[in-house]
Amino acid sequence: MEISQKIIDYAIWYYLKYYPSPKKLEEKLISKFWPESEKWKIYGWISIEEINYILKEKMQSIIQEEEVIHSKIRLLIQKWKSKKYIKQKLFERREDMDKAIMILETYFENWEKENIERELNKILSKLWIDSWNIDFEQKNKVIQKLLLKWFDYREIKELF
């Protein structure tokens, strides 16, 4: 397959700069080098087969998708984000969702309940509410705040 080295260099540069998912990288290459795009007259255009060749053969040693997923999850966990929130961010990134969910589950075996408890205590302290003397209206307000933070309703209810 004869593909311009400039196209391969661009794919490598873009991946190392932004660490996109393979699907996002494919979309970027299509937008840059598809017929009628800005660069196709200069460097030529590439087909889907050539894009797959670039991703699988030329960039195989560079793309470490599983490590990127791990690092994205760890970063969001350090920011105390919920499991649903992280799952949505991985979906937006167009990750391989089966692989991403499997990795996500290993991180969240017991952590989600601890995270909800931490957030619950933070909300209660801001509202000056004693967790033992909470009325129905306050309870609904707290649950609503936790839901806005993307926590699972069933796990929230277990705490009450």
**22-26, 35-39, 55-59, 130-134 — most confident range:** 22-26
Whether the predicted pLDDT of 49 surpasses 70: yes
Q: 103 near 73, Cβ under 8 Å? A: yes
Residue 41 confidence (pLDDT): 66
pLDDT digits (tens, 9 = 90+) for 65-94: 778 788 888 888 888 788 888 888 888 877
Whether the predicted pLDDT of 36 surpasses 80: no
Tokens of 22: 């393979």
How far is CA 121 from each of CA 125, 127, 130, 149, rounded to the nearest angstrom?
6, 10, 10, 14
Of the candidate ranges 113-117, 132-136, 150-154, the one whose mean pLDDT is the lowest: 132-136
**Over residues 100-110, mean pLDDT:** 78
Q: 142 near 129, Cβ under 8 Å? A: yes
Q: 150 near 88, Cβ under 8 Å? A: yes
Residue 43 confidence (pLDDT): 66
Question: Is this model's pTM higher than 0.85 or not?
Answer: no
∠ CA 59-54-30, nearest 5°, is: 120
**Over residues 95-106, mean pLDDT:** 80
**Over residues 27-44, mean pLDDT:** 75
